[in-house]
Structure 1
Amino acid sequence: MKASLYLVLATLFWSGNFVVGQAAVASMTPVELTFWRWAIAALPLLALAQLVDRPDWRAVLRSWPTLLLLSFLGMGGYTLLLYTALQHTSALNASLITAANPALIVVLAIAMLGDRPGALGWAGIALGLSGVLMVLTGGDFQRLLRFSFNLGELLMLAAIAVWSLYTIIARRLAVPAITATAVQVVMATVVLIPVAVATGAHLPQTAAGSWSLAYIVVFPSLGAYLLWNLALKTTAPGTAGNYLNLMVVFTAVITFLLGTPISVPQILGGLLVVGGVLLTSVRGAGKSSGITAPEKSVLRPRAER
């Protein structure tokens, strides 16, 4: 029961990253938000890793090339693409497209690792793709022929592609989850320092911007990781992965409560995406353990994902 509460809270915090992130990019550039998010979270995450994982740091640092690549993809590339996308599309649309991530991971696992989905796996991929297309086109599938998509939605597609590659590579990393995340955050901060200096990155100048950054640092970056990994001590990864489907629901509820209307294509697309994720998560959907994509997202979840 306690583990379930932890998982629900973690997904709620990550859902808030879409909504609060959209508010934050109104007063901060994506580079500023990405840099300060990780710069402020770096030391607390290192302390959290020491407290929870108690790693052999020398052994961890021997994996620095892979950790650096993962940092470039997940902490840098994905986060910058996400926050840039939120300048051009709604938080709900971004979360709906992100929800198709497990299906894309399945496709990459087929191409890169030789995994083979069963009938349910293929059905899940097809449903997830249909849902994403529903969201991208707003129900007007003639937009596919015109290739008339919102820039933010295209950036989110790029973001989930980057995150899928990150997840495939992270599967082979033999480093505890929080420790791997902490090291990647430190690396991202160091790499982004010259960019932040060159672009004149500064902390938020408004109260709203400061509160947005504080939320992103405390809840999606620190609290959610701790709760997620505490839950994994007593919960199977595949079971925990299914809780990530709640992110679309939470994001929809939050945006609706804030006064943003939800369209029928968004509702239908969300249902198709979540249905596709559930099918790819069913036991037997794939021929290898790599096909149940949600259970592979323990290093860094989708919403920051």
Structure 2
Amino acid sequence: MGWALVTAVAPVAWGTNYYVTHQFLPPDHPLYGAAIRALPAGLLLLLVSRKLPRGAWWWKSLVLGTLNMSAFFALIYLAAQSLPTSVASTIMATSPVVMMLLAWSMLAERPRIAHLAGAALGIAGVCLMLLGGEAALDGLGVLASVAAMVMSSIGYVLSKRWSHETDVLSSTSWQLIAGGIVLVPFAVAVEGPPPALSAPALAAFGYVAVVATAVAFAAWFAGLRHLPAGTVGLLGLLNPVTGVLLGTVVAAEALTVRQFGGMALVLLGILLGQPITTRLAATVRARTGRPLERCP
């Protein structure tokens, strides 16, 4: 249960990131926005870990930094500027199924029945929250969200595959720095000079870099190291719940009955995939004389 709570920090922080990006950051500079998010966060974690990559981790950091950070951040930044908070965050919530399938094929980590049931409920809840919204959908924003979800799912499974080779803070810092370095030349070539930032924008970037990036990704990769991919993926469903609630409370976005029902299904799906739920089910089976399912 402890690692699940640590991991949950990440999707909650990411759920707030959509609102902060949409409300306070410049809309015409997604590449600079992604670079400004990644590099300070990576340097901050590097100051804590004080380790440089060695051997294969030079190219692994570049691969993971591109999948999990540079391309992902740019696409998420674009999606956050193009879609309502609730819509952008709910599209990303389809990642648990993709992560489970990738972990099955790449790590031989077969999804448990509880994980599949939780994913089914989560997807149903996501559909209710998405289809229940009244805002028009921007096609480019939807495409950016889907692409970000697929790329990050691949990157997360690769991170789990290589997680035994180094500590969490070091690998997270290297990915962020590599991703930020990859973004800078593209930002200069495509977007020209860096944007002028107001005081609220600087404060927003500070929050995004420290809380929604450095802390969030360290928590997420720690969870991937200690928990099955299915469990971690389902915890990611807290992202749209946070986005919808924040949009309702702060941004005055309408919360419909369908969205409320969707959130209930999402929370139930998350609960089904947690180790404590599996252990309780095993206890019930033991008392009723049924075969036990191995707990994660």
Unaligned runs of 5+ in 1: 141-147, 293-305
Residues in 2 aligned to 1:46 and 1:89: alpha-carbon distance in whole angstroms: 33
Tell me the CA shift for residue 61 of structure 1. Answer: 4.2
TM-score w.r.t. structure 1 length?
0.73
Structure 1 counterpart of 2:87: 93
2:157 matches 1:168: yes
Structure 1 counterpart of 2:45: 45
Residues in 1 aligned to 2:5 and 2:107: alpha-carbon distance in whole angstroms: 34
TM-score w.r.t. structure 2 length?
0.75
Match of 1:214 among 206, 230, 233: 206
Q: Supply the AA of the counterpart residue of 1:103.
A: V
Structure 1 counterpart of 2:116: 122
**Structure 1 pair 179/139, CA: closer, same or farther in 2 (3 Å)?**
same
**Kept after mapping to 1: 8 A contact 2:45/2:169:** yes
Aligned residue pairs: how many?
A: 273
Show CA shifts across 1:227-272 (max 9, x none).
x38x97xx9647x957655444433332222222222333333333
2:52 matches 1:63: no
Identity of aligned residues (%): 27
**Kept after mapping to 2: 8 A contact 1:101/1:160:** yes
Match of 2:13, SS? Answer: helix
Deviates more, 1:176-185 or 1:26-35: 26-35
Residues in 2 aligned to 1:102 and 1:118: alpha-carbon distance in whole angstroms: 13
Show CA shifts across 1:174-194 (max 9, x none).
221111111111212222221
Match of 1:86, SS? Answer: helix
Residues in 2 aligned to 1:269 and 1:176: alpha-carbon distance in whole angstroms: 37
**Kept after mapping to 2: 8 A contact 1:45/1:182:** yes
Q: Supply the AA of the counterpart residue of 2:82.
A: H
Match of 1:180 among 171, 189, 192: 171
Structure 2 counterpart of 1:273: 266
Residues in 2 aligned to 1:2 and 1:196: alpha-carbon distance in whole angstroms: 39
Residues in 2 aligned to 1:126 and 1:172: alpha-carbon distance in whole angstroms: 25
**Kept after mapping to 2: 8 A contact 1:100/1:273:** no
**Kept after mapping to 2: 8 A contact 1:8/1:243:** yes
Structure 2 counterpart of 1:72: 66
Structure 1 counterpart of 2:34: 34
Structure 2 counterpart of 1:251: 243
Unaligned runs of 5+ in 2: 282-292
Tell me the CA shift for residue 133 of structure 1. Answer: 3.1
**Structure 1 pair 180/201, CA: closer, same or farther in 2 (3 Å)?**
farther
**Structure 1 pair 22/192, CA: closer, same or farther in 2 (3 Å)?**
same
Residues in 2 aligned to 1:118 and 1:249: alpha-carbon distance in whole angstroms: 24
**Kept after mapping to 1: 8 A contact 2:32/2:183:** no
Match of 1:170, SS? Answer: helix
- What's the C-alpha RMSD, in Å, of the aligned pairs? 3.8
2:109 matches 1:109: no
Match of 1:156, SS? Answer: helix
**Kept after mapping to 2: 8 A contact 1:93/1:266:** no
Residues in 1 aligned to 2:110 and 2:8: alpha-carbon distance in whole angstroms: 31
